Copies of this chain bind each other. A is one copy, B any other.
Amino acid sequence: MSKIGMIQHIEQGSVTLPKGFHAGGLHCGLKRKRKDLGWLYSEQPAVAAAVYTTNAYQAAPLLVTKDSIAVEQKLQGVLVNSAYANACTGQPGLDDAYDMRRLIAEKWGVPEHLVAVSSTGVIGERIPMDKLKAGIAQAVQPEHQGVEHFEEAILTTDTCTKHYAVQLEVDGRVVTIGGAAKGSGMIHPNMATMLAFITTDACVEQTYLLQALREVTDQSFNMITVDGDTSTNDMVLVLANGQAIHHPLSPPHPDWDLFKTGLAVVSRELAKQIARDGEGATRLIEVQVKGAPSEQVAKAVGKAIIGSNLVKTAVYGKDPNWGRIVCAIGYSGQVFNPEQVQVKIGPVTVVDQGLPVPFNEAEASAALGEETVTIEVNLNQGDGKATAWGCDLTYDYIKINALYRT
């Protein structure tokens, strides 16, 4: 546990660290061997807010979740399956999603509208509901409880589970924010096949919880890219069950900003874990853009760089080919003066005032070999800044994706 300002970072923390949350998962046969059905449950109804994919095709579980939250902006639990996305499955798929919701609600003994559902996996194939039902029937058994089971059950091609938590004080009481996520393929700004579940025992007004979630999502989950494909199933869901007992949080509350920062930290750390575990990735790339005429320009430039296959392969090859970085800045579609641009690869300045400067190739190449590769761009034209995260593009990306379905 480390402390930054008033926020305690708990790297191994997850969605059950906040008071009153429980989670579990099991293998019900959707995948061959690994866990494929997970759930998250709050002892009491929690204020709920969510953001969803911008894809024109939205998977059935998203519609059902929206339907649930619409009733009283609260949820008590969420059921997640992997292996099947339940997207492009029409009315039968929508019926399946409602069935999922009903079955787990009955098992938990809570109203259906307090339950959300979520799916990730192959598009266009229906979930084998008999297997899913058998799984739900076992969901309350003690041996399947445990947050590590939940974290595993939501994965697809991910190579590791993803979680993070922070603690901070509100009205002098400890508030915890915890998160778990899955990512790997189809990761791109604006919600990709990426699921993130964030829990907190804070007491927050729904309107402001949603507003805060949108803000932090734009600076975290929407700033990562693995392959530029935005999926049909993305969702970030936050549940606040109020068990920490304090004055409800909203902007006038003196600890509101601290809470929002805590939410931002959890979101950013989950987003980085997702980017680092991109399909076939060996390294996390962090692009820091500053000196932009606006935040919007900084974001667009960061995303153009992090989305460039040529930059991604150069990182994989530890090749300090700064020309590709400059080129990506150039086609980002933003207005800036190319002659003021500075680019650094790790600590090594490679471009200054828009022109290459002599640099130590070995040093730059070494910076590209770090576990986290930092590319810093200064447009020297304002105060706008943004950070984007992604990963290198490798042989394994091709291997995974040329043969994923068959």
Instruction: Name A's B-contacting residues (CB within 8 A).
Output: 54-57, 85, 87-90, 122-125, 185-186, 188, 190, 227-232, 307-310, 313-314, 316-317, 319, 321-324, 326-332, 334-336, 338, 351, 354-356, 361, 365, 393-395, 397-399, 401-406
Contacts and interface: CB of A to CB of B under 8 A. Distances in A.
A88 B307 contact: no
Given A55-B330, A56-B338, A327-B232, A403 B322 contact: no
Nearest to A331: B230
A394 B330 CA distance: 26
B393 A330 contact: no
Given A310-B229, A351-B88, A356-B88, A330 B402 contact: no
A292 to B, nearest CB: 13
Contact of A321 (B54, B324, B326, B404): B404
Nearest to A91: B355
Contacts of A124: 322-323, 326, 351, 355-356
B330 A56 contact: yes
28 contacts: A56-B335, A57-B326, A57-B330, A57-B338, A57-B354, A85-B323, A88-B326, A88-B354, A88-B355, A90-B355, A123-B324, A124-B323, A124-B355, A125-B356, A227-B310, A229-B308, A229-B310, A229-B324, A231-B327, A232-B330, A314-B402, A316-B398, A317-B404, A317-B406, A319-B403, A365-B406, A393-B398, A398-B398
B55 A331 contact: yes
Identical copies of this chain, number: 2
Contacts of A185: 310
B90 A327 contact: no
A229 B227 CA distance: 13
Contact of A57 (B310, B327, B365): B327
Nearest to A350: B124
Given A228-B309, A309-B309, A317-B403, A87 B395 contact: no
A94 to B, nearest CB: 12
A403 B320 CA distance: 10
A54 B331 contact: yes
Contacts of A231: 327
A317 B313 CA distance: 20
